[in-house]
Structure formats: C-alpha cells, structure tokens
Chain A
Amino acid sequence: MTKNIMIVGVGGQGTLLASRVLGNALLSLNYDVKISEVHGMSQRGGSVVTYVKYGDKVCSPIIEKGEADVILAFESLEAARWLPYLKKDGKLIVNTQQIDPMPVITGAAQYPENIIEKIKETGANVDALDCLALAEQAGSPKAVNIVLIGRLSNYFDISDDVWQKTLESTVPAKFLEMNKKAFSLGKNAD
C-alpha cells in the first residue's frame, strides 16, 4: 500500500528541503520512495507543491485529488488551495502563517477570513499550529520547514533516532542544533 504525503507552500519557504528530509528518512527504512518537485518559474514566490510517496512499490511520482494521506501546508491559503488533494480520512497539518499572494497585494482579490475554520468546517482532520513563532523560538524564522517536519513525525512510525540521523545528513552542520530544536518544538507543541 502506498502512502502519499504532499508538502505545499509558497516558493522560497523551504518545501524542497522538507521533502528531502522526509524522503531520506523513508529510504533508510527500505521503502520504495518517489519524490516529485517543481522547479523554475513557479518557484519564485508562487504556489509550490512537492509530492512524497512511499510503499513496497511506487509508480506515479505525483499525487492527485482525494489521494493524500497527509498534507503538510506551510501557509494557510495554500492549505485551502490543496485541500481537495486530501483523502477523506487524511490529515492536514497547517502552519497558521499568512503570506499575501500578489492579487491580494494589488487589491484584485481578498485573503479569505478565518480560512483555517472554514477548512475545519469541511470535515477535514486539521492540526494547525503557528510554526513561524516556534521557528523563531528555535532561533530562525527559516526553520519553519523543520518545525513542520517535527509535527509530521507524530503521524509516522519512525523512531526519533532515524529522524535525527536524517537531519544530520540533510542540513548543514552549523544549523544542526537549531534545526533539532525546531524539530522538537514542532513535534511537542500543544
């Protein structure tokens, strides 16, 4: 059985690193793993999505509507945008941070109010937390991605040891302690 995880956010938020940490952790457990990313034009502050799939044998590297077991959303509006990709009994982990897209900045569109509440009203299983505040607490607003990975670890049967080793092999040494703290804050936040 294949498990599907989507990582969605805004270009520049570090979604690619998050997918690599997750992919390497899964590979070390001997799963077949596929990760799909999009580069180039859409990376420049646009809506970005990365797919991580694992199981005995993975075919398609991408995830479609109604297929994601977990969506890890780096931003609230992106959580709403990609909600249709969640399985009915899937889990949506969302950073409550709001980043205005250009149509909102120019006044051509409105950022929806109480968007997290509206997502919950659909019946989706939502785990919302302020990852930016936790990342700043860990030492850098850039650690939002690792806070979210820490949160995600609650939904996997992967030992802390494997996660720690994966962090060591994926993030630069000088940021390792800060990232370990960010991971732990995300994992244990209320």
Chain B
Amino acid sequence: MKRLMQGNEAVARGLYEAGVKVLSSYPGTPSTEISEFAAKYPEIYAEWAPNEKVACETAIGAAINGARAFSGMKHVGLNVAADPLFTASYIGTNGGLVFGVADDPGMHSSQNEQDSRHYAIASKVPMLEPSDSAECLSYTKAAYEISEKYDTPVLLRLSTRVSHSSSVVELSERTELPLKEYTKNPGKNVMMPAMAKGRHIVVEERTKALLELAENCPFNTVEFNSASIGVICAGISYQYAKEALGEKASYLKLGLINPMPVQMIKDFAAKCDKVYVIEQLDPVIENHCKTIGVDVIGKDVFSLLGEFSQSTVEKNILGEQKEFLTVDEAIPNRPPVMCCGCPHRGLYYALKKKRVYVSGDIGCYTLGALPPLGMMDTCVCMGASVSALHGAVKARGDEFAKKAVAVIGDSTFIHSGVTGLINIAYNRSISTVIILDNSITGMTGHQQNPTTGYTIKGDPTAAVNLENLCRAVGINKVTVVDPYNLSECLAALDEHLSLDEPSVIISRRPCALLKYVKHNPPLKIDSEKCRGCKVCMGIGCPAISIRKGKAVIDSTQCVGCNLCTGLCSFGAISDGGDK
C-alpha cells in the first residue's frame, strides 16, 4: 500500500515492521513524532522518559535482554545521552539497538546546529542517513539487521527536512521476533576496566568489519551520468543536488555515513573531472576524502552555516540564480510569540515589573526573551537555568540573589532542572527558582511528562508532585501562584526574593492550547474609554493592536484570559457584558 508519510512517521513504521518491542524517548523538535507515531502501534511498548539519558539506558537494558529497542531524540538530546552511547558501543547488544537522532540545520527550533555525525565517529558506532521517507522506513529496518549482525548500537541520523517532509512510502507487514535468549556475561556486559579493555579490542575489530560493509552495502550507491561533475553526498543534500544538477552530474550517495568507504570513493573520484562534497554543517565527508587522498571541493564553496537547498547547489556549482520579484517596502519580521492566553505571559510581566535578572531555559517560555517582555538574561541548554543561577549567585553574592530568578518549565525541570535544584539546596545559595508548570511539554507540541499524570499512550499514571519534590530535596519555602493573577505573582516574588534561603515558586496554569482548557468569550475595548496609552501592549499579546491611535482586540484570537483587563487604568477593557 502506498501512503504519503512524514519522515518521522516512516521511521516509526520501520520500527513497527522491524519488530521493535521497546521504545523510550524524550521529545525534541524535529524528532518528536517518531515516538508519537510509534506509540500508536499496540505491539510497541512506548514511553516518554524524563530525559534522553534515561531513555537510551532504557533501550540499552531492553536490547541486552533480547528485545529490539529504540530511543529517539534531537541533536542536543544526544549530548545528554552521550554517556550511555559511548559505553553501549563497547558492550554491543543482543536484540537490535538503534538510536535515532535528528539534526536541525538552520536551527528552526534549536539552540545550536551541532552535527551529530561527530558522535558516530567518536563513539565508533555505525550511522545511517536516509534522504526521504521511503529510506527512513527501509534504513530503520536495515539498522536493526546491522545492529544484530555486528553486535553494535546503530545511529540513525535524520535532519529537519527529512523528519518533517512527507513523501511516498510502501508499507509491509511487521516481522514479529521472539525475544533473544539472555545469558549472563559480565565480560561483555559489565564495563569496568578489566572487561572494557577487552571490549575496546572488539570495537576496533568491529570497525574493520564495518569498513568492509561500507564498501559493499546497498545503501552506498553510484549513479553515473556525466564525468564533468562528481558529487559525493548523503541525506537531504542528495535531494538538493539531484534537483539542481539532474543528469549534469554523477552521484556517490552515502547511506552508511559512518564508517565511510575508501575504495568506493577513490574509484568514483577517479572517473570524474571535478568532485564536490555537498554536506550541510561540518566537513565530515570532505575531511574523510582528504584523509584518504581524494581531492574534493567542499567547504571552500559551501557554507558551514545553516540549511542548504537546490538553490545553494545551483549557485555554488553552476553559478546560476533564478529571477524573482520583490515588494519595494520594508517587511516587518514576524518572530514567534507566546500564544493568546499563554500562562507564561502573566508571570513574565510580573518579572518585568520587578526588573530581575532571569536565568532562562528551553521551552515556549524562552520566547519571553523577545520584546516587549524581553525578560531573559541567559539560555544555554535544558536545565541550565537552575544551575547557572546558582553559579551567578555564588559569583555575585546574596544581594544579587535578591534580584535574580531562574525560570524553567515543568518538563524541563524534570529533565535536568531538579539536579540543579538539589545543588542549590545542598550548597546553600539563596536562589529563587520559578517552575512554569503548564501541565504539558509545550514547545514540542503537547507531550505528556512525569508531572502530568498521563503516559505517552494517554493512560493515567502516577504524577510527580512538584511541591513535594522541591521540599524533599531541601527547599523549605514553596509557593504556588496562578500566572493569570498578576498581584498574586508580584506578592510571591516580593516575598521569595527577600528570603535568606533558597525557594521555589510554582506558576501553575495549563497551556491555553490544551483541548480541555475552556476559554472565555473574547474581550472588547471601549474606544470611547481608551486613551491610546499603550500600557496593554506591554504584555505582548498578539490579539491586541493599535488602530487609529486606539487599542483594539482581535476577537478571532482573544481567549478572554483577562490579563490585560487589570492593566487598563481607564476601565476600557471588558467582556462587553457577554457571558
């Protein structure tokens, strides 16, 4: 059967067809839908783990015990999971073990554009990279064959345009596999120095065997059209090159991108007058070619930055550019914003009133860094708000602590904020941490997490009680506020910032986009009463704008959260008598 499938959904289908039994992941754009789609198959046990390290270790445990297992994450998630990855490489596996990692060239939704291929090289693990949905499906299945045959975890590298593009796939049935037998084997599975020394030898032998595979595997293909231009590429770059150059060029497309073939590349290059390596981000293929003595053109003409397209290839190789029209007018940017009714808005407005230093974190609330709220000083990685605030307080002293906070979402707090809070309590900094609890993992598109009380499959489960968790790690002062209630937020900030002990404020209200959240009728502005003072504009609500000197509310967007109502000194904003 033919279907139009997103790359991530095709990976999930591949997991299903390959007989995968256990999946554990943490959401992260652009990887999230792999696990969401996989969770729809009753044959796969699927879960959201608190973070990528836990997720990978869960998959490792399942695979050692004979099941085919998977863990999916975004590129920066692999940083968190790097610890188990490197040693899982030594142990190898029993049931097939695959980690999916989705890079984000162009940073559509990420804090950096690191190239995850370096992890495959550093951990000495084979890596496959598909270029469309059909390959997402077939490479996922092949990854399990390689994993079991070569006794190794396998990395499946995706990128935004492969993960989030839909193309046509052909579906097959699932192969149901019996659990492989588990035999106790400390020499292989217990990595302490004596055993690990032996396993490192095995890893190097395995790499030699994988090099042979690279020379002869069905995923590395040559398409010979013309001797004038040779292109070596992998993943989405192949599609860009193919569209731009068509039959004007010959292609060596690598599906197995670690380890890379040697002879195959030499043979291909020998037949071409000029060889280009087209790869987004770092010169990984290019460096390999140069190391084996093949002269290629790569980053001399192609950027290290951002995303490519067919136009990048046309411009850099053919020197061609298409004509286009433009409007002779400045077009204002349209940056992403907090949604109408977003519970983060009220809390951020309170922070703005207090003019505090804000140690920020990763989630929808990172948007609070942008005008008009503009209330974030730093944002590094998941969980860093809490630990970096502690560092700032230790550097600048207790007076600084009384005008500084950390903000972190519920899911991010569980991911890796709680360890920072333990550090705050243990090493006594008088930091104030604000947990923005919107009862969901928001930015990645509404995934359940350990605080929500539901599993990935929507089944009820135990929920972490954030208040009790904070108290248990040694925080005595914990206050819960409603972010729609500005005076309550301001009072809590005053109280917590004056304390000589560490404390936590939980700002709690569900995300306004959640289906079960009931909205009020849209608010109206009485243009007679409005003086055009623009105070209501300070909260950065996308529903409020100024028309002819007066504020107006877009009734198609407003959800009646009433945050703006209290800001108006002239009583101009109301529900207009609607009930």
Contact = CB atoms under 8 A, between A and B. Distances in A.
A106 B540 contact: yes
Contact of A84 (B29, B32, B165, B325): B325
B160 interface: yes
Contacts of B6: 37
Contacts of B333: 47, 101, 103, 109
Contact of A11 (B236, B326, B336): B336
A66, A111, A118 — which one has the most chain B CB atoms within 10 A of its CB?
A66
Given A34-B166, A41-B109, A106-B537, A124 B243 contact: no
A61 interface: yes
B14 to A, nearest CB: 19
A52 B132 CA distance: 15
A33 B167 contact: yes
A44 B160 contact: no
Contacts of A106: 371-372, 537, 540
5 contacts: A78-B334, A88-B323, A99-B542, A108-B332, A122-B326
Chain B facing A: main interface SS: loop
B519 to A, nearest CB: 13
B4 A23 contact: yes
A141 interface: yes
Nearest to B164: A37
A115 to B, nearest CB: 7
A109 B325 contact: no
B266 to A, nearest CB: 27
B352 interface: no
B287 interface: no
A102 interface: yes
Interface in A42-60: 42-47, 58-60
A104 B339 contact: no
B168 A61 contact: no
Contact of A27 (B4, B324, B332): B4
Interface string A66-98: 110000000001101101111010000000000
A10 interface: yes
B108 to A, nearest CB: 5
Contacts of A45: 334, 336-339, 542
A49 to B, nearest CB: 11
Interface string B551-576: 00010100000000000000000000
B234 to A, nearest CB: 14
Nearest to A108: B371
A61 B332 contact: no
B284 interface: no
A115 B327 contact: yes
Contacts of B161: 36, 61-62
